[in-house]
Amino acid sequence: MLSEPERIIPTLSHIPNITYLPTNVGLGLEAARHFVRLHAARVILAVRNSTGRHGVCEVWEVDLASYESVKAFAARAVKLPRLDVLMASAGIATTRYSTAEGHERSITVNAISTFFLALLLVPILKTMAQQHQGANPHLSVVTSEVHVWTDLPEWKTDNTVTTLDDETKANMNMRYPASKLLQVFLTCELASRLEGSGVVVNMLQPGMCHSQLTREDGWMTAILKLFLARSTEVGSRTLVAASSAGPESHGAYMRDGVVDNDGLSSFVRSEDGEAAQKKL
């Protein structure tokens, strides 16, 4: 129900000391405002072009279309005294084929670089869990309900990523859903490998929101958003809820601020889906 996030206003006790959100617009920015309002000690916004602002809210540069940029950001982040939340909220939605780092850009940004950065920062999250009892550091991935739109037929080919990279075979109209399905699989797999580490890995879908993500879409999407979309502020509450969810959310899919694994596609929960996850 679209009205559900109206209740998601986390209390001060839920807010971590340091938060990182990779975006300077839309959901990430609105979530950052909530963290600041709730007195987070430090919030880091990751953007492609940094203005270098400092204070409670800092702005650091990172371009998920560049592996070198991702590595540079991670090298800076691992020096932080604390990292309580890694909120992976950046992403692109495009029907135009282009490449970044040798792969189709949506796959690079939404899947490969997102989890490359996550893996680089997992050690500091694990250290947080070990050194601060009850800290429960979070790695939360912002995915989408549109992952249900595809069963990712490319997974059955010899090399899934190579097939997705092939411009002659790429179905760019379904590329964003495919990238979000990849996120779901990779989040589930990472959660299984971090079981017992003290790090809470979860994923969330914020619902349809008024944001710049669909700026390339046509008039039909604009009409749907007019009647159905949440404001980015309301949608951003689901990000804050995921970042403060308990250990029961580990490996789980969250919708409207609560665990709802029934929201995962039937493919994800099938034997084929499990095989696709392991292959990826």
- Name the active-site residue from 20, 71, 180, 279: 180
- Residue 253 appears among annotated catalytic residues: no
- Residue 176 appears among annotated catalytic residues: yes
User: Consecutive sets of 10 residues in the chain, 280 residues long: mean pLDDT of each?
Assistant: 46 60 74 86 81 71 95 95 91 94 98 97 95 91 96 97 97 96 98 98 84 55 59 87 95 96 98 97
- Name the active-site residue from 176, 225, 253, 279: 176
| CA–centroid distance for 91 within its chain | 8
pLDDT in tens, 179-210: 999 999 999 999 999 999 999 999 999 877 66
pLDDT of residue 169: 95
pLDDT of residue 209: 64
Report pTM.
Answer: 0.88
| CA–centroid distance for 155 within its chain | 21
pLDDT of residue 55: 61
As a CATH number, domain 12-208+235-279 is 3.40.50.720
pLDDT of residue 3: 43
Q: Exposed, middle or buried, 205 (CB in 10 Å: 0-12/13-18/19+)?
A: buried
DSSP run (H or E) holding 108: none
Interatomic CA distance for residues 35 and 130, integer angstroms: 24
pLDDT in tens, 114-165: 999 999 999 999 999 999 888 899 999 999 999 999 999 999 999 999 999 9
